[in-house]
A and B are shown apart, each in its own frame.
Chain A
């Protein structure tokens, strides 16, 4: 009788352990396939805002921005300037060059409402320029939705190109693919290629990533794809991803060795190839302002961005000048 009870107890404990192990295995599989990929590779500031603002403050001694004092030195009604994460080092340098230090207020996490320098990334900046909350947005071209919002609000925006930058496609550094044609990239997003093997790479599913509508790089992707419809949002858990960003954001700001930029049509997105125009996808970067903005300093500052000094900041910030 004792022996039977002992066996029963062992069976019961084994069953309980089997249940726990089954759930643990399931959770482990989710972690390996999905959660691990979503863990932040960078610091909290970088993760939350796409850029660590503290590294590029306009008036910090150890700031990474290009420090050049301009001849302009704005006075009076200083334009409020905002823009995209990838361009924050550039417009922070513009502020350093032209604004008094007292015009910028940072509370440790964000710029205060009194600060003439703001950072709300592309979507925030386009919303705020139309709403009249800021004076100048430094961004890539807007999405259709953002243009429609401006139109619906009855706001005319002026877009002045002040720099150029390569729009790049990224894969994991271990992916053997180094080069694609622009047509192959379009076909990947159209769903014509499903496996990297079809393009001479490893036998892995392709997972083409997209971003939120209205983000600068998502708008750049849609511009690049043109009439090509994105097949579906098949954000495969099992595939090996292809994503996109801007060259300097990848190379100069994030600096993550786990990804690599792809050559397109055999041309690598180096600063040199962007400058000489051989890289096939180059985006204009705009200073955007409302045409009805009465602040005369807005035009003065944008004109200065196109001056030798402004373009020098663009170039030394490792973007490509337009002049």
Chain B
């Protein structure tokens, strides 16, 4: 793979990952806004 093509693929991949992570964080915050205290405590990892 030549360098130019590689950089393009890398750029697109990073962009997709950033969009995916932002979406995931936004979804988590949305869940948090709707989450009950009891659920939040019960789902703690131990």
Contact = CB atoms under 8 A, between A and B. Distances in A.
A28 to B, nearest CB: 10
B38 A243 contact: yes
Interface residues of A, number: 45
Contacts of A8: 1
A211 B34 CA distance: 11
Contact of A12 (B1, B17, B38): B1
Interface string A199-231: 000000000010100000100000000000000
A37 B9 CA distance: 35
Contact of B25 (A30, A50, A244, A258): A30
A141 B33 CA distance: 24
Interface of B: 1, 6, 9-10, 13-14, 17-18, 20-21, 24-25, 27-28, 31-32, 34-46
Instruction: Report whether over half of chain B's contact residues are helix, strand or loop; otherwise say mixed.
Output: helix
A174 B46 CA distance: 7
Sorted from nearest, which 6 A-B pairs have the closest CB atoms? A258-B42, A38-B31, A243-B37, A23-B17, A174-B46, A35-B28
B27 A171 contact: no
B40 A241 contact: yes
Contact of A172 (B6, B10, B32, B41): B41
A34 B28 contact: yes
In this complex, which of B24, B34, B36 has the most chain A Cβ atoms within 10 angstroms of its Cβ? B36
Contacts of A156: none
Nearest to B18: A23
Given A40-B39, A41-B39, A256-B42, A34 B32 contact: yes
Contact of B38 (A15, A27, A34, A254): A254
Nearest to B6: A12
B44 to A, nearest CB: 5
A240 B44 contact: yes
Contact of B34 (A47, A174, A243, A257): A47
Given A20-B17, A40-B35, A259 B28 contact: no
Interface string A82-118: 0000000000000000000000000000000000000
A209 B40 contact: yes
Contacts of A20: 13, 17
Interface string A268-280: 0000000000000
